[in-house]
Structure 1
Amino acid sequence: MELNHGRRTTAVFLSILYPGLGHAYVRSWRRALCWYLGGFGLLLVASPELLAAVFGTQGVEALLEASRQIPVETLVAVVISVRVLGTADVWLLLTRRARSDGRAHCESCARESDPDIDFCPWCLDAAEGQ
């Protein structure tokens, strides 16, 4: 089964919208969770005030105040870097799945499929060009 470019494009677009969505779309659940939580983790590391408010005992008001103190440049850098890296990761993941050891994998369910048939026997998704 050849690489389905429509599915890869959709996964990349979803990953641009929000880190981890593209990975969830292709059912890579662990990676989706890592990218989703990674954005928050990077933001916490980039802003010590926010980190202190999250793990401190000051309450929700302190957390909101600390989040307002984050410089715009830091927010933009974190958002762009996480989205670009997450998008590249989902694209590479799908490319590797399509080329792994000459075995064909379904783009929908990621299970190994028979290249001699035009659909995935596991999820019945049609191959590209059908």
Structure 2
Amino acid sequence: MTDHTRRRPWLAALLALVVSGLGHAYLRRWARAFGWYVAVTAAVFVFVPEAAISGVLAGEPPPVRDVAPAAAVVGASVIDAYVVALRNNREHERERDAARSADAAEPTAGGTVDGPAAPSTETTSDETVRCPECGKETDPTVDFCQWCAEPLGDDAT
């Protein structure tokens, strides 16, 4: 198993909102955290007028149009942190399920397999395919589940 651990997507998004790059640092995506920090800092210095920055430091709220470009980059960072956390959790679940399947598929002394088999694509009698992730029937002519978008078949990674 790799270093994936379950993370809270809402916390990653909140941290990214508080300090740019902090949500990605929570997810241990160091290069991404540094990249978002640089992107937000660059957006502030390139697009936000100096008068708006001075006003914020003096405690005056700046006009929205002056800080909109930087706010858009911060918003993109928040969304990215949330999505990366969701992907991380999905990968964690796959690794956990694969480890459980591998443990369950260990042959006994008699050479047979006890316990449930590893998830595989099931074909029912009427030539429909069941998704190993969500269990719903899918179109047998495509190689992914139209319900959960997970890959189907033995060659899926």
Does residue 68 (structure 1) correspond to residue 54 (structure 2)? The answer is yes
Q: Which residue of 1 aligns with 2:100?
A: 116
Give the 3-state SS of the residue equivalent to 1:19 in structure 2. Answer: coil
Cα distance, 1:68 vs structure 2: 2.9
* In 2, Cα distance between equivalents of 1:79 and 1:115: 43
Q: Which residue of 1 aligns with 2:36?
A: 35
Identity of aligned pairs, percent? 27
Q: Which residue of 1 aligns with 2:12?
A: 11
Q: Which residue of 2 aligns with 1:86?
A: 77
CA RMSD between the two structures: 3.6
* In 2, Cα distance between equivalents of 1:46 and 1:81: 11
* In 2, Cα distance between equivalents of 1:96 and 1:66: 37
Q: Residue by residue, what CA displacement relative to the aligned partner does 1:58-100 show, whole Å, maximum 9, x if unpaired?
A: xxxxxxx794389633443134212211111011112223335
Cα distance, 1:44 vs structure 2: 2.3
Gaps in structure 1 of 5+ consecutive residues: 51-64, 106-112, 118-130
Give the 3-state SS of the residue equivalent to 1:27 in structure 2. Answer: coil
How many residues in Structure 1 have an aligned counterpart in Structure 2? 92
Distance 1:74 1:39, change over 3 A: farther
Structure 1, 24-33 or 11-20: larger mean CA deviation = 11-20
* In 2, Cα distance between equivalents of 1:22 and 1:31: 10
Distance 1:77 1:115, change over 3 A: farther
Q: Which residue of 2 aligns with 1:104?
A: 95
* In 2, Cα distance between equivalents of 1:75 and 1:23: 26
Q: Who wins on radius of gyration, i.e. which is larger?
A: 2
- For 2:35, the aligned partner's letter is C
Contact 2:24 2:33 in 1 (8 A): yes
Structure with the larger RCO, 1 or 2 (CA within 8 Å, 6+ apart): 1
Q: Which residue of 2 aligns with 1:60?
A: none
Cα distance, 1:114 vs structure 2: 5.7
